[in-house]
Structure 1
Amino acid sequence: MNDVSLFHGPNAGYVLELYEQYQRDPQSVDPETRAFFEQWTPEQPTDTAVAPPPLEHAVKRSPLDVTHTVSAARLIRYIRELGHLAARIDPLGSEPPGDPGLAPEIHDVTEADLAALPAEIVRGPLVEGAGNALEAITRLREVYSGTVGYETDHIQNYEERAWIREAIESRRFFENFDAERKRDLLQRLTEVEVFERFLHQTFVGQKRFSIEGTDMLVPMLDTIIRNAATAGTREVVMG
């Protein structure tokens, strides 16, 4: 596992460059890559004929396993960073733009290869109960490329980015609405859109702040105020 010859062609140079970056600053690489490098070091050239003693508990892996692990780590990173490009957020059903890097074949790995890898390489809440990496990655796609898109890669602070990704993947703030609640939300959003158009047509040329793009804040505020009232709040001031 610690022999750089396990990687071939451009992969070897890429992995060594990434490993050097990891040595300078472990936090500069994503968690999956960091976890891999914590257990992997490239073989160093020796000046003498004396070989270092073998590690007593060294884990032997085939070149294929290591290559597939690195490929899977790249795929996992792409899903977390660019999965939102494949999210189905258009209610009319148009195809999302996607990204080539979200496909396993771009990383020279197949579903069969992923099924042979442990789920733990994905890391995070979605690993629990997954039988292998393929199952965990399928869950990861459902989260990042489902009907909600999450774009988090612009968050520069690692701890903040890790916190929000954990919240996303654990579905900590996710609610499974029943059909009636969904209709109520649609009705409220329709009211917001109609009122927005009314203001636009009634006050032509007047300076105002549009709610377009943030219309979901209205039902969110409804929920906050409703919960505040339930908790005993008697007055809410906005402005």
Structure 2
Amino acid sequence: MGYENQDFADVAGGVSPAFIETLYARFKASPESVEPSWRSWFEGLEGSTEGASWQQPNWPLSSTDDLTAALDPTQMEPAPKPAKGGAPKPAPAAPSQDAIIRAASDSIRAMLLIRTYRVRGHLAANLDPLGLSKREMPDDLKTDYHGFSDADIDRPIYLGGTMGLQWTTVRELVDILRANYCGNVGLEYMHIADVEERRFLQERMEGKDKAIEFTPLGKKAMLNKVIEAEQWEKFCGKKYVGTKRFGLDGGESMIPALESVIKYGGAMGVNEIVFGMAHRGRLNVLTNVMAKPFRIIFHEFGGGSDNPDDVAGSGDVKYHLGTSTDREFDGISVHMSLVANPSHLEAEDPVVLGKTRAIQTIAGDLETHSRSLPVLIHGDAAFAGQGIVWECFGFSGIRGYNTGGCIHFVINNQIGFTTSPQYARSSPYPSDVAKGVQAPIFHVNGDDPEAVTFATKMAVEYRQKFHRDVVIDMWCYRRFGHNEGDEPSFTQPLMYERIRAHPPVSEIYGKKLTEQGVVDRAWIDENIKQFTTLLEGEFEAGASYKPN
């Protein structure tokens, strides 16, 4: 039938019950005329309608092959004679054609349901921390759309190993699919043509045991980075009231996520990462990810420069500047650089990719592109609206420009300057442009640091294995205006009414870990105290800082 390079589950999920009836008739007439995968499936259905073998009337078997009989002591004795007048039990009736067709129809419709969740489950994912986005369950993700009534949802259905299940019920299947595809992570990947890439992502997303899990130590580390990101913004807000800093407030989950890129990237062979980003959150990344000393930032806030007096500088503002440093995780050192960026939001994209390509050329890493990694951090409006983004995607697979895949991290504030998404683009997501190069897209809820970090970990794994671009679309919000001197409620009154009432990420995640018994209130308060004390000391040191 010519289904080369396709999963049987994908093929079975895309055909009609009428096709199954025709194919089953061929199977009954001549099993050898049916492809092996379908033949095995029909044989499984026929065997399955009678239940488990040990439950069938003819079990245990009265006769076996000679070798089995020779090894079975019970078969060495002569079979007892039937009682006088007793009639032999009739052989169990073969399953009717209607029963086979119904079982096949159930399986096919279940396969279609699975495929629909793979393609469209992200549309029902819990992504918006503010709850402003209207994301109702699509009709084709409901069981009745696929012909399952309420009376059918607890009937056993044969899946033959799909999603790790031989048998299931519609109820159990939907619970698993919604947990996998409609939680705080929504994955778009069925637009990818390569079967191996799709299977790689499916194996990490699908199944009963595919919950997002981190160790207590890992959870503490994530909460601590969220606290540091949040307290940094609060400290700067208190010390420099009304001063532009383009804070990360509302998107703090990005900081532990970027830490995970360094950690997991280093573990998978990356020894150099080139970052590029616009101004929003840059100061937070400079200090809490790139380890630029706090005192230098405070010195720049006061009008000073990081350059010695005899070194000419650009004179640009502090939230346009870059840096470079080395970070070590688990004994592995990774060199990192954050390129400078002018006010043009995406101007650094080709610079980051070109720099990474140059590093790979010098290091002789053009075969695998595995030791150097470009990471671009975007705003949602710029990612969807600026042509340079697509131009960089267009070059991503071309020999001579390829960097082995870039990780794109979108800080999705759900607003661009003062424009709401429905007035800024025609696509559902700002990340839809990435489908043009078949990049997988992870949509994540920014109020869940574990979900965001899980997505970045998978993104690093995917990039290192397949050397292709991958996108993380983190839904969050911008707690203040376009800059700290703006009043956003003039243009978005409903959104900012919701934001003012919304607790910060550290409070939401801290409460979750407290309920799990991972931390307590005293632990959270102590970490806040230690970090703010550090910032106070660095603030005082910044007043007398001298570049060397």
Give the TM-score of the pair, scaled to structure 1: 0.60
Structure 1 contact 189–215 (Cα < 8 Å) conserved: yes
In 1, Cα distance between the equivalents of 2:3 and 2:199?
Answer: 17
Query: Could you say which structure has the higher helix fraction?
Result: 1
Kindly indicate whether the alpha-carbon contact (under 8 Å) linking 2:230 and 2:252 is maintained by their aligned counterparts in 1.
Answer: no
**Counterparts in 2 of 1:90 and 1:190: CA distance versus 1, 3 Å:** farther
Aligned to 1:7: none
Structure 2 match to 1:18 = none
- Which residue type is aligned with residue 166 of structure 1? E
Matched, 1:34 2:71: no
Structure 2 partner of 1:232? 331
Amino acid at match of 2:197: E
Alpha-carbon separation, structure 1, partners of 2:192 and 2:179: 22
CA distance in 1, matches of 2:195, 2:266: 34
CA apart distance, 1:165: 0.7
SS at 1:238 equivalent: strand
1:44-81 superposed Cα distances (whole Å, 9 cap, x missing partner): 999xxxxx8576x9624534433333222211111111
Counterparts of 1:206-225 in structure 2, within 5 Å, are: 217-221=257-261, 223-224=263-264
Q: How far, CA to CA, are the matches of 1:42 and 1:84 in structure 2? A: 35
Q: Which residue of 2 aligns with 1:207?
A: none
- Cα root mean square deviation, aligned: 4.6
Q: Judging changes above 3 Å, is the alpha-carbon distance between structure 1 residues 103 and 79 closer, same or farther for their aligned structure 2 residues?
A: same
* Equivalent residue letter for 2:226: L
Look up the match of 1:10: none
**1:95-174 mapped onto 2 (5 Å cutoff):** 96-118=135-157, 120=159, 123-125=162-164, 127=165, 131-169=168-206, 174=212
For residue 224 of structure 2, the aligned residue among 184, 189, 196 is: 184
After TM superposition, give the deviation of residue 150 of structure 1 in Å.
1.4
Structure 1 residues without counterparts, runs of 5 or longer: 1-22, 47-51, 204-210
Shift of 1:163: 1.3
Distance 1:202 1:82 in 2: 38
Task: Supply the distance in 2 between the matched residues of 1:213 and 1:141 (Cα, whole angstroms).
Answer: 23
Question: Which structure is richer in relative contact order (CA contacts within 8 A, separation 6 or more)?
Answer: 2
- The equivalent residue for 1:82 is 120
Distance 1:24 1:34 in 2: 13
CA distance 1:172–1:103, shift in 2 (3 Å)? closer
Change (3 A) 1:32 1:221: closer
Aligned residue identity for 1:66:
A
Gaps of 5+ in 2: 32-41, 47-96, 268-326, 338-548
- Correspondence 1:24 to 2:2: yes
- Give identity over the alignment, percent: 21
Count matched residues. Answer: 198
Which residue identity is paired with 1:70?
I
Give 1:97 shift.
3.9
User: How many Å separate the matches in 1 of 2:232 and 2:123?
Assistant: 26
Distance 2:222 2:106 in 1: 42
The answer as to whether partners of 1:119 and 1:134 remain within 8 angstroms in 2 is no
Distance 2:139 2:152 in 1: 19
Residue of structure 2 equivalent to 1:14? none
Q: Using structure 2 for the length normalisation, give the TM-score.
A: 0.29
> Could you tell me which amino acid in structure 2 is paired with residue 221 of structure 1?
V
- Greater Rg, structure 1 or structure 2? 2
Deviations 1:103-130 (A, max 9, x none): 11112213542421335257123x27x7
Deviation of the 1:84 alpha carbon: 1.0
- The amino acid that maps onto 1:72 is A
Aligned to 1:13: none
CA 1:183–1:229 in structure 2 vs 1: closer, same or farther (change >3 Å)? closer
The residue number in structure 2 matching 1:72 is 110
1:119-151 alpha-carbon deviations (Å, 9 max, x no partner): 5257123x27x7534313311211111121111
The residue type paired with residue 154 of structure 2 is A
CA distance, structure 2, for counterparts of residue 44 and residue 66 of structure 1? 9
Task: Supply the distance in 2 between the matched residues of 1:147 and 1:136 (Cα, whole angstroms).
Answer: 19
Higher strand proportion (structure 1 or 2): 2
- Paired amino acid for 1:150: L
User: Is this contact kept in 2: 1:72–1:109, CA < 8 A?
Assistant: no
